[in-house]
Every structure is written in structure tokens, then in C-alpha cells.
């Protein structure tokens, strides 16, 4: 029986994780959960799984906590969160809080040498220079949940001998605006941007998928997680989202991982550390599959150039790009900027900062703060 802490339990990834746990209840115990403010969902999870500890990261009405307290120990401080994650009884931490807010929890897990299943790509993008060496130092096993990275993880198999790898190919659905000319992006609505063709996800990552910034973050995530230079990472649009990524080896063989687009598949793979876990899934019907591939849509080159620069510069560059994007996406979600202005905010904020090294996790928080302030200024200057 493995004790799990599920961070971001009430979100889209959280829900998929719970579905996988439900189907493998004899192997896992939900020891603790963390959530933001979705109290009704937290109550449902608490009733069903009866986790010993529940952490809430946002201010919630104390009356709402009473019901949770009857089942679980309710935690609210940063120190509580650290103790929950680093509790010696915990075997696996699932990092599925959305955005930069998930970083501290990822850091706590890695610091204590836990096995960490990472959905929160923003923590790797922003703090890869701190988290990756720390994981090596503390012997923390990092297993990706992001479908592309979990696919690469599977395609690399046990050997993980990067000398044998010629290329990694990350697939992208292309999002809802795959066929929209770049100069028409300023007219797209929030509703259209939230309407992803193949995946159902939280709002921040859905907008990232529409701008293709999600794919940029994934490029950086792959660069850090697998220690593969960006020059060996290709990105190809594959609208059906059936092939989740591929690895081409030096002998000319390409290995791909396929499934219908359902996050329970990579989650089950990541949780099946010793042996694969059985889950219910919709089989692929190969005789009806029509798989196609195309280049990244014209006009989005600059954002990918920035992401490739981040892979080469490292240091604070990922924090800056990530923070600028989070501020811009938030402004777009609140209808303060146009869709196409998300690119401008990232570009102008990124250009404003010099690249410097990150020495501590505090540096990451510091640059994040500075970049957010600058991104807000950029938004004010255009509106
Ligand atoms: P979501 O918005 O649906 O859920 C976010 C979760 O984080 C919620 O449970 C929320 O309560 C919690 N949360 C927010 N702030 C918090 C805080 N301060 N303290 C504690 N909990 C807090 O997001 P999602 O779509 O599930 O995505 C989660 C992460 O997984 C993101 O980093 C995303 O990029 C990544 N990811 C998601 C998918 C997907 O299919 N949804 C796929 C790949 C990667
Ligand atoms: Mg992904």
C-alpha cells in the first residue's frame, strides 16, 4: 500500500488521478490532499477517500471547514504543507496545482527525496535549474504526468541512454486556432479560446494550448526533465492527439506512444512504478484512425524562439517567460487584453530582463515577482 499526497486534488488532473486511484484502491491510500478554494469538491473527496490531512491554500470560509474537520486534519500554513509533503509515511507526491503556485509544493517534495509525479510543468520551467540538481542530490524520482513527457518517458524505456537518442518529437494538437491566420488572432473570443478540440483541462492550460505557449513550456520541460538539448527536440502538430510524443534513436528507429486523449493513461503509467496498473480505457480502433502531421502554424515562430532561448540560457529566463505568460493569460481570462496581446506581453517582458543564474529557490520567487510587475506595466502601457 502506497501513501499518496495529491496536490491540486479538486482540479482536472486531480480528478483524473482520483479516477485512477478508485480503480486501484487496494494499492494506494490517499494520505493527504491539497486544494485551492473548491470546497464542495474537497468535501466530496474527503467523504469518499477520507484522507488523514487536507491542505487548503486559499482563504476559505471557516464554517466551510467544519465538515472537512470532522473527517480530516485541516491544514492551512506553508509549514503545514511542508510537513504534510515531507511526512515520512508519504511515498508519492502528485504535483498538480496549476501554475507557479505549485512550485513550493514541488520543491518540498523534491527536497525530501520523495517520488514526485509532475503535472505542474510551470515549476520545472521556472525552477528547473534548482529542482533538477536538487532531485539528483536527494535521490528524488521525478516521473512526468504531462502526456507528451510521459510518452517520452515510456519511449525511452529503462535504458535512458541519451547517447542513443537522435531526436525527441513532441506532438501538439494545434489547439482551437490551428487554422486561424496569425493576424486574425486578435479577434478571437475568450469562449473560442477555452474550447479545446481534443482535451478537457483547467482554464490556464487551455489558454496556453490555444496560444501554443503550452507547447513552448513543454519544450522547456522536456529539455530539463530528460536533459536533451533543444536542438534535438522537434515539435510537430498532430491534430488527433493520438500519438503523444516519439523518440527517434540513432539507428533510425522511432518509438511512439499512442492512446486516446485521456489523462488517466499517463497518470496510470506514472503511478505504475513497479508494474503497469489496470484501468478502464477506450481502445484505439486502428482501422478507423487517420493520423496526420503538419508544421507549427505560421506566425507563431517568435514564441518558440523564446522557448528555445530559455532552453539555452537557462537561469532566470524560464521564470521570466513563465511569469509573463501567467500575468498575460490572467489578463486575457479577465478580458483585459486581446488574445494576440498575450504574445506581446511575453515578448516585451522577456526582452526587458538580463539573463542571470539562479542560486536558491528564493531567487526564483524574486525573479517571478519582478517579472510579474514588469508584465503588468506592459499591459498598462498598451491599454
Ligand atoms: P485546474 O485549474 O483544473 O486545477 C488546479 C488545482 O490546483 C485545483 O485543485 C486548485 O484548487 C488547486 N490550487 C490552485 N491554487 C492552489 C493553492 N494555492 N494551493 C493549493 N491548491 C491550489 O488545473 P489542471 O488543468 O488540473 O492543471 C494542473 C497542472 O497540471 C497545471 O500545471 C497544468 O499545466 C498541468 N497539466 C494539466 C493537464 C490537463 O489535462 N488538465 C495536462 C498536462 C499538464
Ligand atoms: Mg501536455
Environment class of 257 (CB within 10 Å of its CB; exposed 0-12, middle 13-18, buried 19+) = buried
Among the bound ligands, name the one nearest to the CA of residue 326: 1
Question: What pLDDT does residue 3 have?
Answer: 98
Environment class of 23 (CB within 10 Å of its CB; exposed 0-12, middle 13-18, buried 19+) = middle
Question: What pLDDT does residue 303 have?
Answer: 96
Distance, in Å, from the CA atom of 137 to the CA atom of 204, rounded to the nearest integer, reads 32
Question: What pLDDT does residue 62 have?
Answer: 84
CA of 198 to the centre of ligand 1 (A): 18
Phi (first) and psi of residue 279, to 5 degrees:
-140, 165
Question: What pLDDT does residue 60 have?
Answer: 83
Question: What pLDDT does residue 271 have?
Answer: 98
Determine whether the shortest distance from the Cβ of 262 to ligand 1 is under 6 A.
no
- Sheet order of strands, 233-237 included: 233-237, 165-172, 243-249, 254-258
From 5, 13, 148, 241, the mutation candidate for ligand 1 (largest count of ligand atoms within 8 A of CB) is: 13
CA of 147 to the centre of ligand 2 (A): 5
Q: Which residues are annotated as a binding site for NADPH?
A: 10-13, 36, 38, 120, 122, 202
Q: CA triplet 33, 38, 43: central angle to 5 degrees?
A: 60
Q: Whose CA is nearest to atom 32 of ligand 1?
A: 120
Distance, in Å, from the CA atom of 23 to the CA atom of 319, rounded to the nearest integer, reads 37
- Residue 290 region, left (φ>0) first, then alpha (ψ -120 to 50), else beta? beta
Residues 6+ apart with CB under 8 A from 202: 11, 12, 13, 98
Q: What does pLDDT average to in each consecutive run of 10 residues of the chain (383 residues)?
A: 97 98 97 96 96 92 87 94 98 98 98 98 98 98 98 88 93 95 93 90 94 98 97 98 97 97 98 96 96 95 97 98 98 96 98 97 98 98 86
Residues 6+ apart with CB under 8 A from 155: 245, 246, 247, 255, 256, 257
Distance, in Å, from the CA atom of 211 to the CA atom of 130, rounded to the nearest integer, reads 27
Residue 29 has a CB neighbour count (10 Å cut-off) of: 18
Domains of the chain, first to last: 2-144 (3.40.50.720), 160-260+294-382 (1.10.1740.10)
Question: What pLDDT does residue 159 have?
Answer: 66
Determine whether the shortest distance from the Cβ of 257 to ligand 1 is under 6 A.
no
CA of 67 to the centre of ligand 2 (A): 35
Distance, in Å, from the CA atom of 208 to the CA atom of 319, rounded to the nearest integer, reads 16
The DSSP-derived string for 273-313 is: SSSPPP---PPP-GGG-----BPPPTT-HHHHHHHHHHHHH
Find, among 54, 238, 76, 250, the residue nearest to 147 by Cα: 238
Distance, in Å, from the CA atom of 372 to the CA atom of 369, rounded to the nearest integer, reads 5
Question: What pLDDT does residue 383 have?
Answer: 81
Q: Radius of gyration (Cα) for the chain, nearest Å?
A: 20
The DSSP-derived string for 19-73 is: HHHHTTTTTEEEEEEEESS-HHHHHHHHHHH--SEEEE-S---HHHHHHHHTTSE
Helix (H) or strand (E) holding 108: helix 103-111
CA of 383 to the centre of ligand 2 (A): 32
Q: Whose CA is nearest to atom 42 of ligand 1?
A: 146
Amino acid at each position: 500500500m502506497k501513501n499518496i499526497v495529491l496536490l491540486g486534488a479538486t482540479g482536472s488532473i486531480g480528478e483524473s488521478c482520483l479516477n485512477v486511484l478508485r480503480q486501484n484502491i487496494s494499492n494506494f491510500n490517499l494520505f493527504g490532499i491539497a486544494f485551492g478554494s473548491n470546497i464542495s469538491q474537497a468535501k466530496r473527496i474527503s467523504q469518499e477517500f477520507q484522507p488523514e490531512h487536507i491542505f487548503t491554500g486559499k482563504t476559505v470560509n471557516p464554517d466551510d471547514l467544519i465538515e472537512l474537520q470532522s473527517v480530516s486534519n485541516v491544514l492551512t500554513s506553508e509549514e503545514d504543507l511542508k510537513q504534510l509533503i515531507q511526512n515520512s509515511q508519504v511515498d508519492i507526491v502528485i504535483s498538480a496545482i496549476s501554475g507557479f503556485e505549485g512550485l513550493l509544493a514541488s520543491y518540498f517534495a523534491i527536497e525530501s527525496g520523495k517520488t514526485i509525479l509532475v503535472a505542474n510543468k510551470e515549476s520545472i520551467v521556472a525552477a528547473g535549474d534548482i529542482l533538477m540538481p536538487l532531485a539528483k542530490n536527494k535521490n528524488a524520482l521525478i516521473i512526468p504526468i504531462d502526456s507528451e513527457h510521459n510518452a517520452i518517458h515510456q519511449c525511452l524505456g529503462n535504458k535512458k541512454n541519451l547517447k542513443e537518442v537522435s531526436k525527441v518529437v513532441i506532438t501538439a494538437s494545434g489547439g482551437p486556432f490551428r487554422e486561424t491566420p496569425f493576424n486574425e488572432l486578435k479577434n478571437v473570443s475568450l469562449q473560442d479560446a477555452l474550447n479545446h478540440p481534443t482535451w478537457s483541462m483547467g482554464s490556464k492550460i487551455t489558454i496556453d494550448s490555444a496560444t501554443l505557449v503550452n507547447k513552448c513550456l513543454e519544450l522547456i520541460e522536456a529539455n530539463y526533465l530528460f536533459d536533451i538539448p533543444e536542438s534535438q527536440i522537434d515539435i510537430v502538430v498532430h491534430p488527433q492527439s493520438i500519438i503523444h510524443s516519439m523518440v527517434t534513436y540513432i539507428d533510425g528507429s522511432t518509438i511512439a506512444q499512442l492512446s486516446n486523449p485521456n489523462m488517466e493513461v499517463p497518470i496510470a503509467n506514472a503511478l505504475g512504478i513497479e508494474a503497469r496498473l489496470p484501468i478502464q480505457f477506450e481502445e484505439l480502433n486502428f482501422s478507423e484512425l487517420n493520423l496526420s502531421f503538419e508544421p507549427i502554424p505560421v506566425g507563431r515562430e517568435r514564441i518558440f524562439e523564446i522557448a528555445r532561448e530559455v532552453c539555452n540560457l537557462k537561469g532566470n529566463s524560464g521564470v521570466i517567460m513563465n511569469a509573463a505568460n501567467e500575468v498575460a493569460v490572467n489578463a486575457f481570462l479577465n478580458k483585459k487584453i486581446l488574445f494576440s496581446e498575450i504574445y506581446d506581453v511575453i515578448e516585451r517582458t522577456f526582452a526587458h530582463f538580463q539573463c542571470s543564474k539562479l542560486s536558491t529557490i528564493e531567487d526564483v520567487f524574486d525573479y517571478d515577482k519582478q517579472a510579474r510587475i514588469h508584465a503588468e506595466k506592459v499591459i498598462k502601457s498598451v491599454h
